[in-house]
Structure 1
Amino acid sequence: MSDTTQENDHSNNSSSTFSEDTTQISTRSHSQEINTIKIVINDDNGHNHEKSEIKPPSPSAGENVDDQTTLLPFKQLLIVFMGLSLAIFLSSLDQTIVSTALPKIASDFHALSDISWVGTAYLLTSTAFQPLYGKFSDIFGRKSSFLFAISTFVVGSVLCGASVDMPMLIVSRAIAGIGGGGIMSLVMIIISDIVPLRERGKYQGIIGGTFTISSVVGPLIGGAFTDHISWRWAFYINLPTAALTIIIIITMLHLPHVYGSLKEKIKRIDFIGTIFLVASIVIILLPLNWGGNTYSWDSPIVISLFCVGAVLVCVFIFIEFRIAIEPVIPQHLFKLRNPVLVYITSFFIGMAFYGFIYYLPLYFQAVRGYSATEAGLQLIPLVLGLVLFSTVSGFATTVTGSYRPWIIFGYGLTTVASGLLSTLNENSNRGEEIGYLLIAGAGLGCSMQTVLLAAQSSVEHKDIAVVTSLSSFFRTIGGVFGVAISGAIFNNKLSSYLIDTLPSNIPLELVKNSVEYIHTLPPDTQTSIIHAYVHALSYVFFVAIPMAGVATITSLFIKHIPLRKTLGPIIAE
């Protein structure tokens, strides 16, 4: 098609007569039909001038030319945001509330040996399906994908509450995980459609605070249900919250329609890539979960699964780069500076963050002698720091438009907090514990949500959903690796220290697996065991220093891209 001819204005302050001759040219560009309008201009001197203009194409069926952004009235936006916050609270609460109920469930079903599979089933499906929701929300629409995730999560929760044996519970948790894996990503994706980049920080900060609060409240509610009502209500509690969320989203969230019939949308799915992605994640997560617990790290099954998983990842990459027409994870995102750096920092800060969440309660139970419920309450300083600074950094980003300093400062502070936490011991006072937890919370609060803005601001709007879901995915998968690495170090150090100091009449495995048992032993024996726990935990927090340190160093190379104050297309970096 010839370039558009530009015309000079031959008359000053004189009128011109326009006549139009519209011709449709049959051509293809990205499978779209392009309309060209030929405009004939007749000026006052009798000269005709022609110029061509490209008429914006109409959306063709099956093609993602849709822009799902929409500007909601402020009151409507607040209601929608409340629904999204409830969804985050629901998803995060579920993961922690169930952990408190597991011992009672194992006792009722007489299946203590299978109890670990309840958590593993949810972890496998939620992590494996998390990166898929970005692309699926492009194809089927944000609202439909979100309602599917919530509904699937609810169905799984109902089945969990109604389970009659352990196999049914494990399968039901896997179903719930399919939905739960998409909730966090889709909430962030929807926020990107209804809130301009410049305003997004404060909303994402509040979401981050909601996630953390529910993580701490979960064990308290789970313990109350298990002790006073029934462990089944740890699952049924999801129903009223989910129902309110669904009602708000259906009635208040109105996004532009995604063009194409259901058949055409299904054709766009990269089924082969999806299968290999899910399979590779599951096969890699299994040995990470089993290693050091069910099997030793050097066992044939663990090594074999890692090898098979690595091969499947290579096959998936080949499919996405060479075969897939519309890949689940577009390769061009890995050619952009900011998204790649965000993935790296999210992975490593996820390693440190999940290590804190998993092992700080153990410190308070084993070393300080608190119950599980009391240990959860001791994490309040961490929660307060995270919620406060997540909100402050979000609002500051909205006011100044600058997010990069918060990311660097937050990661750096998390690195410092890791070092401080590694010094905690049986003689540490409450002031040290509160101070160190506040610093850790502040560091995580400053960085964990603002870093997403760095990725979102550097891609075109058509890639927002995928880059958002991948950021969450890399943080989650980093957490899985972090817990596995920390667990291996902890078990190794604890075992070696106990073998050297534990009296022969005290069972080693019982000391390692029951913190309640420790505090029933004679004072001298208790002191020796508690010191062993302190010694092992110090290594866990110490190894978080390089994890957070890598995130800090990597964040220095993140490029600042101005945050737009309006919704709409975003120009890539």
Structure 2
Amino acid sequence: MASISNDDIPPTERSTLLHGSRLFFVMFGLGCSVCLGALDQTVVATSSPKIVSDFNALNQISWIAGAYLLTETSLQPIYGKLSNIFGRKVTILFSVFVFELGSLLCGFAQNMISFIIFRAIAGVGGGGILILADTIVTDIVSAKDVGRYQSIINAFYGITTVVGPILGGIFTDHVSWRWSFFINLPLGAITIITVTFSLHSPKQTALLKNIKRLDVTGIAIIIVSTICILLPLNWGGNAYAWNSPIIIAPFCVGVVGYALFGFVESYVAVEPIAPLAFLHGMSFYSFITYVPIYFQAVKGYSATMAGVALAPYVLGFSVATAITGQLYSRTDKVTHRLLCLIGSAFMTISFGLITMWNENSGPGELIGFIIIAGLGAGIIFQDVLLCCQESIEHKDIAITTSLLMFFNTVGGVLGNAIIGNIFYTKLIQFSSSLALPQSFTPQSVYCIQFLPAETRSLVIHAYSMALHSSFIAFIPMCGLSFILSLFMGNIKPSYSEENLGRVI
């Protein structure tokens, strides 16, 4: 990806700060766009078991998040650059429109294959939403007000992440899981209308010249590499043996591709920030995908109650990001390394405790362990973002934020594939020895409730053991994050009277 000089970057929205009603409407529109990103991560979590049950495709549950994350991940590294080339307004409108199109198609999907394709389309748009909303705030308000207005954006995100799992459960239980996607349409429409009429964007000239500056080579490498790694992780042990050439060959191509991408984008490397973001994504996205299966399959919760049970995780995440931001802006007594160590320790401990879950686990164990995991994940995510943003110039914020999000979500793609493979392989292994009715298939979580009581308890135990094996895989991910935190250096947040109250 070619570097961008100051002369290459067109005048941004920062040249005209917004005030009054225009600022209000833009902030409201950006808040709605953030809700889109937050909803996609949480509302679908509690709908997923019903979706795969309707399509008889439990073995493909990782693709519900994976297909979206695949395209989102592949395009995130360039959204920051796109916004510098074409302007924030055009880029975020494009992002929201494509996301809306994908969501609409998902709501009408008739089989798992089409659903996966439509999720991938939504991911093309989703890759830029959160990044651009955060960046636009730094353009439209003065530096001393950035913290105040980004706190508003964070509030939209926090509220949505808490409400999302519950909303997904309500739709699934009382209307249809399809409304988990239709709900995005009015929010996206508000964003498009408010941004179109309220956000100023300089006219772009030399469009063809700008297009030529896009990193087509880097985009192609990362898309192909991600697909080559994702496919064998989903197929291995299920469709093909792990030592099959069909598994080994694409995996090797993917690894080489990522190494090549790292070389091409060599200016990107910020060690160990990128690996920390990568590991955070592996645990975060996998957690919100597979914990709802535990609540619905093992505990027998409805989708609504599974959403309520997951809420402490996203609540803990939101609280932790807010506290970390406040520590960043109000004191220089803590270091970035210390915060990441604390967050990683919380996550490692929580996932170690979560492996103890079984059919008889009580509410205290469930809620307490989930809150600890959410707090740890929130601390790491916010601290890594702050640490990186603090060391760069304003003109590079969009690009740097997009790259951090890229490492976070590529971790999510691979984490979902790994955890999904472990879960489904173990589920088939544990259930294969059971005398089950021919009408029953482990592909459908919702079939469990129709089994005879004695058989049902055996199947629930099989699900519990399969999830136990999956949860164990979280521990080394979080443990490695703790180890990498030791090498961050003893860097303290910037602290000055000018920076007081600033939360990014």
Q: TM-score by structure 1 length?
A: 0.73
Q: What SS does the aligned partner of 1:91 have?
A: helix
Of residues 320, 328, 331, the one that matches 1:397 is 328
Name the stretch that deviates more: 161-170 or 76-85. Answer: 161-170
Tell me how far apart the structure 2 counterparts of residues 84 and 292 of structure 1 sit (CA, whole Å): 43
Q: What SS does the aligned partner of 2:482 have?
A: helix
Aligned to 2:268: 333
Q: Aligned pair 1:148/2:94, yes or no?
A: yes
Tell me how far apart the structure 1 counterparts of residues 91 and 216 of structure 2 sit (CA, whole Å): 17
Tell me the alpha carbon deviations over residues 295-354 of structure 1, each in whole angstroms, 9 at most, x when there is no partner: 444443232221232343344445x2xxxxxxxx4x2231xxxx3222111111222222
**2:71 and 2:123 in contact (8 A); partners too:** yes
Aligned to 2:9: 64
Of residues 157, 160, 165, the one that matches 1:216 is 165
Aligned to 2:189: 243
Of residues 371, 385, 392, the one that matches 1:459 is 392
- After superposition, the Cα gap between the structure-2 partners of 1:219 and 1:65, relative to the gap in structure 1 and judged at 3 Å, is closer
Tell me how far apart the structure 2 counterparts of residues 189 and 538 of structure 1 sit (CA, whole Å): 40
Of residues 554, 562, 569, the one that matches 2:494 is 562
- After superposition, the Cα gap between the structure-2 partners of 1:442 and 1:223, relative to the gap in structure 1 and judged at 3 Å, is same
Q: Report 1:385-534 matches (<5 A).
A: 385-400=316-331, 404=336, 405-499=338-432, 502-503=433-434, 505-506=435-436, 510=440, 512-534=442-464
Tell me how far apart the structure 1 counterparts of residues 157 and 237 of structure 2 sit (CA, whole Å): 32
- After superposition, the Cα gap between the structure-2 partners of 1:239 and 1:497, relative to the gap in structure 1 and judged at 3 Å, is closer
Q: Aligned pair 1:542/2:491, yes or no?
A: no
Tell me how far apart the structure 2 counterparts of residues 310 and 522 of structure 1 sit (CA, whole Å): 47
Tell me how far apart the structure 1 counterparts of residues 178 and 445 of structure 2 sit (CA, whole Å): 26
Q: Which is richer in helix?
A: 2
Tell me the alpha carbon deviations over residues 21-71 of structure 1, each in whole angstroms, 9 at most, x when there is no partner: xxxxxxxxx999xxxxxxxxxxxxxxxxxxxxxxxxxx85xx226565465
Cα drift, residue 122 of structure 1: 3.3
Tell me how far apart the structure 2 counterparts of residues 470 and 165 of structure 1 sit (CA, whole Å): 33
Of residues 272, 275, 278, the one that matches 2:223 is 278
- After superposition, the Cα gap between the structure-2 partners of 1:132 and 1:214, relative to the gap in structure 1 and judged at 3 Å, is farther
Q: What SS does the aligned partner of 2:356 have?
A: coil
Q: What SS does the aligned partner of 1:340 have?
A: coil
Aligned to 1:348: 279
Q: What SS does the aligned partner of 2:272 have?
A: helix
- After superposition, the Cα gap between the structure-2 partners of 1:167 and 1:271, relative to the gap in structure 1 and judged at 3 Å, is same
Structure 1, unaligned runs of 5 or more: 1-29, 33-58, 321-328, 568-573
**1:209 and 1:387 in contact (8 A); partners too:** yes
Tell me how far apart the structure 2 counterparts of residues 508 and 536 of structure 1 sit (CA, whole Å): 21
Tell me how far apart the structure 1 counterparts of residues 409 and 217 of structure 2 sit (CA, whole Å): 23
Root mean square deviation of aligned Cα: 3.7
Tell me the alpha carbon deviations over residues 366-387 of structure 1, each in whole angstroms, 9 at most, x when there is no partner: 2212123322221122233223
Tell me how far apart the structure 1 counterparts of residues 45 and 342 of structure 2 sit (CA, whole Å): 33
Q: Aligned pair 1:199/2:199, yes or no?
A: no
**2:298 and 2:464 in contact (8 A); partners too:** yes
Tell me how far apart the structure 2 counterparts of residues 425 and 164 of structure 1 sit (CA, whole Å): 34
Tell me how far apart the structure 2 counterparts of residues 535 and 175 of structure 1 sit (CA, whole Å): 35
**1:206 and 1:391 in contact (8 A); partners too:** no
- What amino acid maps onto 2:325 in structure 1? G
Cα drift, residue 388 of structure 1: 2.6
Cα drift, residue 543 of structure 1: 2.4
- After superposition, the Cα gap between the structure-2 partners of 1:420 and 1:258, relative to the gap in structure 1 and judged at 3 Å, is farther
Tell me how far apart the structure 2 counterparts of residues 517 and 157 of structure 1 sit (CA, whole Å): 27
Q: What SS does the aligned partner of 1:459 have?
A: coil
**2:319 and 2:375 in contact (8 A); partners too:** yes
Q: What SS does the aligned partner of 2:487 have?
A: coil
Cα drift, residue 469 of structure 1: 0.8
Q: Aligned pair 1:125/2:77, yes or no?
A: no
Tell me how far apart the structure 2 counterparts of residues 344 and 166 of structure 1 sit (CA, whole Å): 32
- After superposition, the Cα gap between the structure-2 partners of 1:482 and 1:245, relative to the gap in structure 1 and judged at 3 Å, is same
- After superposition, the Cα gap between the structure-2 partners of 1:378 and 1:172, relative to the gap in structure 1 and judged at 3 Å, is closer
Q: Report 1:62-101 matches (<5 A).
A: 63-64=8-9, 66=11, 69=14, 71-73=17-19, 77=23, 79-94=25-40, 97=43
**1:355 and 1:541 in contact (8 A); partners too:** no
**1:88 and 1:183 in contact (8 A); partners too:** yes
- What amino acid maps onto 1:455 in structure 2? C
Cα drift, residue 446 of structure 1: 2.5
Q: What SS does the aligned partner of 1:506 have?
A: coil
Q: Which is richer in strand?
A: 1
- What amino acid maps onto 1:87 in structure 2? S
Tell me how far apart the structure 2 counterparts of residues 177 and 491 of structure 1 sit (CA, whole Å): 25
Tell me how far apart the structure 2 counterparts of residues 447 and 72 of structure 1 sit (CA, whole Å): 32
- After superposition, the Cα gap between the structure-2 partners of 1:291 and 1:206, relative to the gap in structure 1 and judged at 3 Å, is farther
Cα drift, residue 292 of structure 1: 4.3
**2:49 and 2:293 in contact (8 A); partners too:** no
**2:44 and 2:165 in contact (8 A); partners too:** no
**2:67 and 2:119 in contact (8 A); partners too:** yes
**1:83 and 1:249 in contact (8 A); partners too:** yes
Aligned to 1:370: 301
Tell me how far apart the structure 2 counterparts of residues 162 and 290 of structure 1 sit (CA, whole Å): 27
Query: Greater RCO between the two (CA within 8 Å, min separation 6)?
Result: 2
Tell me how far apart the structure 1 counterparts of residues 410 and 4 of structure 2 sit (CA, whole Å): 36
**1:452 and 1:471 in contact (8 A); partners too:** yes
Tell me the alpha carbon deviations over residues 107-128 of structure 1, each in whole angstroms, 9 at most, x when there is no partner: 99x8979987776543432222
Tell me how far apart the structure 1 counterparts of residues 46 and 351 of structure 2 sit (CA, whole Å): 26
Cα drift, residue 561 of structure 1: 4.4
- After superposition, the Cα gap between the structure-2 partners of 1:381 and 1:472, relative to the gap in structure 1 and judged at 3 Å, is same
**1:406 and 1:447 in contact (8 A); partners too:** yes
Cα drift, residue 458 of structure 1: 1.4
- What amino acid maps onto 2:28 in structure 1? M
Tell me how far apart the structure 2 counterparts of residues 263 and 233 of structure 1 sit (CA, whole Å): 40
- After superposition, the Cα gap between the structure-2 partners of 1:263 and 1:563, relative to the gap in structure 1 and judged at 3 Å, is farther
Tell me the alpha carbon deviations over residues 359-410 of structure 1, each in whole angstroms, 9 at most, x when there is no partner: 2112212221212332222112223322333333333433336662443322
Tell me how far apart the structure 1 counterparts of residues 43 and 137 of structure 2 sit (CA, whole Å): 26
- After superposition, the Cα gap between the structure-2 partners of 1:168 and 1:527, relative to the gap in structure 1 and judged at 3 Å, is closer
Structure 2, unaligned runs of 5 or more: 500-504
**2:69 and 2:412 in contact (8 A); partners too:** no
Tell me how far apart the structure 1 counterparts of residues 277 and 439 of structure 2 sit (CA, whole Å): 35
- What amino acid maps onto 1:542 in structure 2? I
How many equivalent pairs are there? Answer: 488
- What amino acid maps onto 2:275 in structure 1? I
Q: What SS does the aligned partner of 2:473 have?
A: helix
Identical columns (%): 42
- What amino acid maps onto 1:83 in structure 2? G
Q: Report 1:292-303 matches (<5 A).
A: 292-303=237-248
Cα drift, residue 442 of structure 1: 1.8
